[in-house]
Chains A and B, each alone.
Chain A
Amino acid sequence: MSPASLDEALVAAAQGGSAEAFSRLVERHQQAVRAFLRRACGDWSAADDLAQETFLAAWSRIGRLKAGASVRAWLCGIGYNKHLTAVRSASRERARGQAYEDDREVTLDAPAEDKIALEKAMAELPAEQRACVALCLAADFSHAEAAEALDMPLGTVKSHISRGRARLLLALGVCDDAS
């Protein structure tokens, strides 16, 4: 069974009320959703909280997921909306700030300078640009899949990726061999 048809079978079972099927969907997609949210918000602890909220919301809305739709894109879309809501809450951002700083010391690997430069450059990108970069450059989403997940026009996604990529490469001091 292909991953897409397995997803489809699991979604159908979850729509019928099977918590076991939903649990398997969580297992299959937690990595993609958490990785996307970590890159989109930069704060690992907040990202994991948002990922949990994303799956909880997905459980409530699973009945609305159309047959054949990409589960990964749908979940990332829910996560992105939750992230935008969290960004608007300034107090929450401040509260999480210290936790992120504590986390960074533990999770960073070599080459640390490049990683820090990348995180800094990502943090400076506008939220939409950052989300597009996180999906397409880091997670192998197609442009169309990212457009579906983020509810943006395809052209906007392409433009965000192009600009975001250029800014990241500039921050890393990497020569863009594509141009």
Chain B
Amino acid sequence: MTQADDRLKVLFAQDEPPARDAAFSTAVMEQVMRRRFREDVAVLSGVSVVGAGAMWFVWPTLQTALVAVSQGLAPALGAVVLAFCATMILSGGRPAAALGLGS
């Protein structure tokens, strides 16, 4: 490296931000978490809308079937709900991850 390059480097170094800047990192992560929250809300809303639509569509059939098998179905349904809740908790409470929709 030449003396001219050294001089340029010294002058450029005056623009250098600090090696650690908690305010900057926090601002970035705040935006990241906000985006993540919006994605989670969008996934949950989508799942809810699709679930509600499906339920509306199959309800006439389902209702009859449910009445017929309700006594035997209740424990199995409880187990499925429990398994879903456990998956949600183990995946860090992130709905997209629990539903296998990526990170």
**B-side interface residues toward A, CB under 8 Å?**
2-5, 7-9, 11-21, 24-25, 27-29, 31-33, 35-36, 92, 94, 97, 102-103
Contact partner, A15, options B11, B28, B97, B103, Cβ 8 Å: B103
CB atoms of A118 and B31 under 8 A apart? no
Which residues does chain A contribute within 8 Å of B27, judged by CB atoms?
52
Complex interface bits, A115-134 against B, C-beta within 8 A gives 1, otherwise 0: 10010000000000000001
Give how many A-B residue pairs fall within 8 Å (CB-CB).
Answer: 96
Q: Given A26-B28, A174-B7, A176-B2, are A16 and B103 neighbors across the interface (CB < 8 Å)?
A: yes
Selected interface stretch from A1-9, A93-101, A148-156, A165-173 = A165-173
Complex Cα distance, B21 from A17, in Å, reads 23
- Report yes or no: A109 in contact with B14, Cβ–Cβ below 8 A: yes
On chain B, the residues within 8 Å of A169 by CB distance are: 4, 8
A73 to chain B, nearest CB (A): 18
Determine the main DSSP class of B at the interface with A.
helix
Interface residues of A, dominant DSSP: helix
**How many A residues, CB 8 Å from partner?**
41
Q: Is A45 an interface residue (CB 8 A)?
A: no
Chain A residues near B16: list those with CB within 8 A.
31, 35
Chain A residue with Cβ nearest B36: A19
| Set of chain B residues within 8 Å of A15, measured between Cβ atoms | 103
Contacts of A30 in B (CB 8 A): 17, 21, 24-25, 28
Question: Would you give the 0/1 interface string for A16-43, flagging 1 where the beta carbon is closer than 8 Å to chain B?
Answer: 1101001100110011001100110000
Cβ distance A88 to chain B, nearest Cβ, rounded Å: 23
- Considering the complex, give the chain A residue whose CB is closest to the CB of B3: A177
Contact B32 A175 (CB under 8 A): no
The 7 closest A-B pairs by CB, nearest first: A17-B103, A138-B12, A34-B17, A178-B2, A55-B28, A177-B2, A38-B15
